[in-house]
Chain A
Amino acid sequence: MSFLTLRNVTKRYGSFEAVGNVTLSVDKGEFVSLLGPSGCGKTTTLQMIAGFVDVTSGTIELDGRDITRTKPNSRGLGIVFQSYALFPHMTVYDNVSFGLEMKRVAKAERAALVEEALALVHLDKYAKRYPRELSGGQRQRVALARAIVIRPPVLLLDEPLSNLDAKLREAMQFELRDIQRKVGTTTIMVTHDQAEAFSISDRVVVMEAGRITQIDQPYRIYEHPETEFISRFVGKTNMLPGTVATVADGHAAVSLAGVPVEVPADGLSAGEAVVLCIRPEKLRLTAPGQGRIAGRVTDRFFLGSQWLYHLDGPLGTVMAVTANDGDAPLEQGAPVGIDWPASVVRVHRGVLSAAPALEELE
């Protein structure tokens, strides 16, 4: 049973379509992330759910009630803003208590609820402080406590962790998920960080240029990206352009610069241009002379738990990631064999588009 439903939600600014035909159902208690590069319409979508941006066409339903035209102050949603948007002139306690006050909760009950919420985010000792006296991570948690204390039907998180440093961000990810599980609130998070989206969401909605391109569980999106854009946006990937050479009983042979690779036929026809995607960690490095193709190490990068290699071979430069098992890594210039199981190859139809600019991938 869908709890929050967006049906063909569209937002146009003049002739520019910021969000087009977004249809999404979120179940009660689910944690869904909207993931995409900046300008893809994910924040606009969140703002429409919150009621800060008018919907041009389409409907938004919450628990069977149409809230498309409801004012933001009567939707009752809990929102954590990217800038946290704490009230700077109020103490932590007053910040958290504000929503309850607006709901006219009795004072005694209010105090109990605020304390409970502050305890949940481990800030019970900071109730008397002002936001300016808190660190970034603490402010973030005040914003979260303030949003969940009103027991909202839906919690909206707008890039909640983007202002924190890397280490804190990782810790907060797990804490966020933990709190969300405890409270059981349906949550929608907007993020451009795929690691963040993947690690804590039940489902991820990938958006591109105002449209949803894929809705799936995180690992499915990683393993089975439906478009070339997604495979590029989500994690690192090797994109290998080729042509279908032959199709026979359920299998197609794709020629990658002369190297034949077998993939499932899946409606492919001979002569068609395709792009094969192989994740770097799916490539296996073998002894020279073994494996499917030969390569040579041109560059290597130490990532702590992993080694990232750039390998030159008949397919151009490919990336391979191997676990750091404690042994000495391959030397630069060392010849290697490159192998992969047939099941890890993803096929996208069409020719390879130009690589997107770096800021687009941000």
Chain B
Amino acid sequence: MSSFSTDPAASPLSGEPQDAAGGFRKRFAPALMAGPATLLFATLVLTPLLLTLLLSFNEYDHATGRTHGFTLSHYAEVLTDGYYLEIFLRTFRVAALATAICAIIGVPEALILSRMRNPWRSVFLLVVLAPLLVSVVVRAFGWSMLLGPDGVVNMILQAVGIGRTRLLYTEGTVVVALVHVMLPFMVIPVWTSLQKLDPAVEQAALSFGASRPTTMVRVIAPQILPGILSGSLIVFGLSASAFAIPGLLGGRRLKMVATVVYDQYLGELNWPLGATVAVILLVANLIVMLTYHHVVEGQYRKRMG
């Protein structure tokens, strides 16, 4: 036995650190390995967030801009003003709607995709992912060209006799464009959880006399719930903080939270107020997502562990 332990390669097997250096390495190796990522995360995410938080407590003066005093007045303003409340409600309504539509379209899309055979599967997967390769701004302009007063859709509406309709700068348009942009983020997680499904489980349900819809609802849907859950969280989070789509398709008229932040920073030059709105959006978003996650995941965990 002792002749083996002199071999340093054998020491990890013994379970106990052989010397001080080994113990040190063992204790700090995980921290060291996680170090670079932690550093990157801290610099690029936490620092700006912290600065934004600090900024939101600063005082604002019309003549001089941001001053360095401490105040909670911005929070009071945002939380009590009906104007901001409406914008927050609109933002979450649009995000929730976009998430629901993404789920309704994305889940069947992933199901169909998972049933395809190669090469079609690869081709259509690429089609699903293709929108991600085009800039959001370009896609938003695409929509505004389609839906504008002289766009293709209005031309068709006119030809059919419905007449010219205002499509741009409406909530509906923003939702449609958000769905277009966010759909891959729903399809991919659902598709991944479908890949993990044992095809025999579906056959088993069928063999016991279940119809296809029953199999879908009772057997397949509960198993891909985690995929739908993570897809929804991604889509909701990205939609609620989306800037380019509401900015370009909602315009000045239809404000959403991200565009308000932009306006406060660059239009009103009221940085502390912009920072306050941003912080409240982050917190509200977190609350909504964590609650949703808790409810759905709790349901799932009870059964799947």
Contacts and interface: CB of A to CB of B under 8 A. Distances in A.
B305 interface: yes
Contacts of B222: 89
Contact of A98 (B198, B205, B223, B303): B205
B200 A83 contact: yes
A73 B303 contact: no
Contacts of B210: 73, 98, 102
Nearest to B219: A87
A340 interface: no
Interface residues of B, number: 21
Q: Which residue, A73, A75, A79, has most C-beta atoms of chain B within 10 A?
A: A73
A100 to B, nearest CB: 9
A71 B208 CA distance: 12
B127 interface: no
Contacts of A72: 203, 206-207
B30 interface: no
A150 B305 contact: no
A51 B206 CA distance: 10
Given A73-B209, A74-B209, A150-B208, A79 B203 contact: yes
A303 to B, nearest CB: 34
A78 interface: yes
Given A88-B223, A89-B303, A102 B214 contact: yes
Given A82-B200, A90-B303, A102 B223 contact: no
Interface in A37-58: 50-52
A132 B223 CA distance: 14
Nearest to B201: A85
A76 to B, nearest CB: 7
Contacts of A130: 303-305
Contacts of A86: 201, 204
A75 B209 CA distance: 8
B211 interface: yes
Interface in A132-159: 132-133, 146, 150
Nearest to B209: A102
B220 to A, nearest CB: 10
B201 A87 contact: yes
Given A89-B303, A132-B305, A102 B198 contact: no
Nearest to A80: B204
A82 B208 CA distance: 16
B97 to A, nearest CB: 29
A259 B225 CA distance: 72
Contacts of B209: 73-74, 76, 99, 102-103, 150
Given A87-B219, A89-B304, A99 B208 contact: yes
A86 B223 CA distance: 12
B207 A77 contact: yes
B203 A52 contact: yes
A78 B209 CA distance: 10
Interface in A80-111: 81-83, 85-90, 98-99, 102-103
B166 to A, nearest CB: 47
Contacts of B207: 50-51, 72-73, 75, 77-79
Nearest to B305: A132
A42 to B, nearest CB: 16
Contacts of B214: 102
A79 to B, nearest CB: 5
Interface string B262-305: 00000000000000000000000000000000000000000111
Contact of B208 (A88, A102, A132, A133): A102
A51 B223 CA distance: 24
A78 B203 CA distance: 11
Interface string B173-215: 0000000000000000000000000101101111111111010
A87 B304 contact: no
Contacts of A50: 203, 207
Contacts of A82: 200
Interface string A104-138: 00000000000000000000000000101100000
A75 B206 CA distance: 10
Contacts of A51: 207
B209 to A, nearest CB: 4
A146 B207 CA distance: 11
A98 B207 CA distance: 11
Given A50-B207, A103-B209, A85 B303 contact: no
A72 B223 CA distance: 22
A132 B304 contact: yes
**Nearest 3 pairs of A and B residues by beta carbon:** A99-B208, A85-B200, A102-B209
Given A82-B200, A89-B222, 4 more contacts: A78-B207, A88-B201, A88-B223, A102-B214
23 contacts: A50-B203, A50-B207, A51-B207, A52-B203, A71-B206, A73-B207, A73-B210, A73-B211, A81-B204, A82-B200, A85-B200, A86-B201, A87-B201, A89-B304, A98-B205, A98-B208, A102-B209, A102-B210, A132-B304, A132-B305, A146-B204, A146-B208, A150-B209
